[in-house]
């Protein structure tokens, strides 16, 4: 009898998520994702400057519509995203386990990521009242200060925890009406990339959330030099990258927020005042009618 042929495993190549669509990197480069023993688990596309520019364009086109959504609707959409994650949590747990996370920790991280989305979904229609104010003035006017989204935000996700850290970074950004381009963990990109596959089936409008994967050292200079990026949230905890980003934002007066979190699983990782990092406080005067 003929000997059975040995089957070659078909490994997945994860795509970037830009403008609500899955994209192959324009330069054709891929990165091998490996486990703790060095075994290749899968490949994922390595984003280039062109991919980042495409993501910024998609994010900019999404800002107007996302900002016009009522805060209540934004909360409902974020809650729906949490529902989608809840229904497909086994996929995320599997991705975390593949790169060496113990099963119990993987479950804990996915649960915390889902809860984090629900947490910020609840803040969408509350932060304006808490962070804004009615100001006393000496004339017959109402004077209001209200937070408004800054626009397009670029973010760098932490390496650990890769999934929960990324969700904790992006949730307060999009909750206030911004759109975001996030660079996934360089060390562990598989769970964030799977997260984008789940988000693609949610109600989040195309372009509000864009995910890139690749080399931070290659992409960071483009984050600061692009004139259509309004702010950068840096949770990479990389001193060299942070210095480079700060130097670049000083040139074109772009807002830079450095986020260092000791424990994303605790209260520190769900700080509602992070919403303030990517909003502009606008003051309006209105005459008091007779």
**What residue ranges do the domains of the chain occupy?**
13-287
* pLDDT for position 11: 80
Model pTM?
0.90
Distance separating alpha carbons of residues 138 and 288, to the nearest angstrom: 12
Residues 34-82: tens digit of each pLDDT: 877 777 888 889 999 999 999 999 999 999 999 999 999 999 999 999 9
What's the chain's average pLDDT?
90
Q: Phi, psi at residue 132, to the nearest 5°?
A: -85, -175
Which positions ≥6 away from 32 have C-beta within 8 Å? 40, 42, 43
Model confidence band, residue 19 (pLDDT cutoffs 50, 70, 90): very high
Q: Give the residue carrying structure tokens 């007066």.
A: 253
Lowest pLDDT segment from 15-24, 173-182, 247-256: 247-256
Model confidence band, residue 10 (pLDDT cutoffs 50, 70, 90): confident
Residues 131-142: tens digit of each pLDDT: 887 778 888 888
Distance separating alpha carbons of residues 178 and 279, to the nearest angstrom: 8
Both structure tokens of 99:
């790169």
Model confidence band, residue 1 (pLDDT cutoffs 50, 70, 90): low
Q: Percent of the chain, pLDDT > 70?
A: 99
Which positions ≥6 away from 77 have C-beta within 8 Å? 69, 202, 203, 204, 205
* pLDDT for position 288: 82
* pLDDT for position 197: 93
Which positions ≥6 away from 67 have C-beta within 8 Å? 148, 149, 177
Q: Cα-atom radius of gyration of the chain, to the nearest Å?
A: 20
- The dotted CATH code for 13-287 is 3.40.605.10
Residues 79-115: tens digit of each pLDDT: 999 999 999 999 999 889 888 888 999 999 999 999 9
């Amino acid at each position: 009898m003929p000997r059975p042929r040995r089957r070659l495993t078909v490994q997945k190549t994860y795509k970037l998520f830009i403008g609500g669509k899955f994209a192959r990197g324009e330069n054709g480069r891929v990165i091998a994702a490996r486990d703790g023993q060095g075994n290749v688990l899968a490949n994922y596309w390595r984003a280039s400057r062109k991919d980042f520019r495409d993501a910024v364009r998609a994010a900019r086109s999404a800002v107007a519509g996302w900002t016009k959504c009522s805060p209540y609707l934004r909360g409902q959409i974020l809650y729906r995203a949490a529902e989608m994650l809840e229904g497909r949590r086994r996929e995320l747990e599997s991705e975390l386990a593949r790169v060496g996370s113990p099963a119990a920790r993987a479950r804990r991280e996915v649960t915390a990521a889902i809860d984090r989305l629900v947490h910020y979904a609840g803040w969408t229609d509350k932060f304006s009242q808490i962070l804004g104010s009615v100001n006393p003035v000496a004339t017959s006017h109402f004077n209001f200060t209200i937070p408004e989204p800054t626009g397009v935000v670029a973010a760098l996700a932490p390496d650990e925890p890769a999934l929960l850290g990324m969700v904790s970074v992006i949730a307060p950004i999009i909750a206030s009406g911004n759109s975001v381009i996030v660079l996934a963990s360089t060390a562990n990109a598989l769970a964030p990339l799977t997260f984008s596959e789940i988000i693609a089936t949610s109600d989040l409008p195309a372009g509000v959330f864009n995910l890139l994967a690749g080399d931070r050292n290659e992409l960071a200079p483009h984050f600061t030099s692009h004139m259509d990026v309004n702010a950068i949230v840096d949770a990479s905890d990389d001193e060299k990258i942070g210095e480079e980003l700060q130097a670049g934002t000083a040139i074109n007066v772009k807002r830079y927020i450095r986020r260092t979190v000791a424990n994303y699983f605790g209260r520190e990782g769900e700080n509602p005042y992070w919403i303030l990092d990517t909003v502009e406080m606008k003051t309006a005067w209105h005459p008091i009618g007779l």
